[in-house]
Amino acid sequence: MDRGAGVGSSAVVGCGGSSGDGPSPDAQPSTDGGDLRPSDAGDAGGVDATLGDGGRGDGGAGDAAAPEEATVEAGDAAANDADSDAPSLPVLEAGACGDPFGGGPLTTSSTHLDIGVHDPSMIWDGYRYFLFATGGTLNVRSSADILTWTDAGNIFASIPAWVTTTLGANPGSLWAPDISYFGGTFRVYYAGSTFGSNTSVIGLATNTNLESGSWVDQGLVMQSTSADDFNAIDPNVSFDQNCTPWLAFGSFWSGIKLRKLDATTGMPATDDVTTYSLASRDGGAIEAASIVSHNGFYYLFVSFDACCQGVNSTYRTMVGRGTSITGPYADMAGTDMMDGAAEQLLATAGRYIGPGGGTAWKDGDTYLYVYHYYDGEGGGASKLQIRPIVFGPDDWPTLSDPLFP
């Protein structure tokens, strides 16, 4: 999200969820195949094929569209009436990292779906997909088939008081939630800020079972002020070869940063307090970082240029790679991403304007990139798309056709 413009379970073993596990030979993907509040989930018509099965036997094609504004209170879930009704999480295999619940069914459609979203992230919990995005008090949606989405409540009933106190004002809306799973807990890192400012915070909310909708705010993880040369927004969790969690973040200013996290608390680690610099455009537009690993490489996905301007948005999705999670990351020519280099994966094409603000993540054996674009045939509204990430013989990624147009 372009906020820097103008500035030069029963089992607790295993970890991971939103991003890939540490570098090791991984299976190839199974297919080649105004207001920023999440709203207007699309119709489920035109389903063509299912690309795999995550093991849930129930349907979901009849799920209702998400309402334009969620009204449930924190700790409630529109689709789940009580904690006792929520299914138990599947038992994880020891050592699982990056995709501890396996992958869900990747259903494709030839029908255009108008699923309103901005800065999305996703996870499969062994039963359903859950979708998180920028807006208000962080609405959550769930789906059994990745096409039809049901309102699953909001993480918060109101903006946490500590956010307002720390920023000095109520930001009105929380941004760019990132969902992950480690230490036996689902974790959403989220940002609070205002456009054009680096007076920002990253917070953490936790939940042991997404089916219950009961979230606990853990408070401040990281912050930046006008005295800093970075911007503490757009958080994303990834994992190294030891299954240690790391938090990438940043927008404009000096670019993308990385901090090691404590695998138990989810807070910044005390055994490594270094803030690593991963990518920069010398104060220019770079943000929305996410990291996955594959076959000995880490891949840093970012967005260049301007979001949030409807049909005038110029977002592009870019990528670089390195052999250490802390960098350096480079393009195909070997130019460091700290020097503004990266390979382009997506740019404006037809009605799909400014594709970016997304999250690369591992869903079972399949790598996915979930992102938003601005619909040139829909008044510039931001909408959801999901593409499989495919790695070529040279281990550089490309993005396949979207699961739905």
Tell me if residue 73 is catalytic. Answer: no
Tell me if residue 125 is catalytic. Answer: no
Rounded Cα distance between 400 and 369, Å, is: 10
Rounded Cα distance between 327 and 287, Å, is: 16
Alpha helices (runs of H) in 286-374, residue ranges in sequence order: none
User: Are residues 295 and 323 in contact, defined by beta-carbon separation less than 8 angstroms?
Assistant: no
- Catalytic residue chosen out of the listed positions 2, 21, 76, 119: 119
Rounded Cα distance between 257 and 275, Å, is: 6
SS3 for 167?
helix
Rounded Cα distance between 132 and 359, Å, is: 11
∠ Cα 122 311 300 (to 5°): 40
Rounded Cα distance between 203 and 246, Å, is: 15
- Catalytic residue chosen out of the listed positions 76, 287, 331, 363: 287
Rounded Cα distance between 71 and 381, Å, is: 22
Q: Put residue 266 in one of left, alpha, beta given phi > 0 → left and psi -120 to 50 → alpha.
A: left
DSSP string, 330-349: B-TT--BGGGT--EEEE--B
User: Are residues 310 and 376 in contact, defined by beta-carbon separation less than 8 angstroms?
Assistant: no
Catalytic residue list: 119, 287
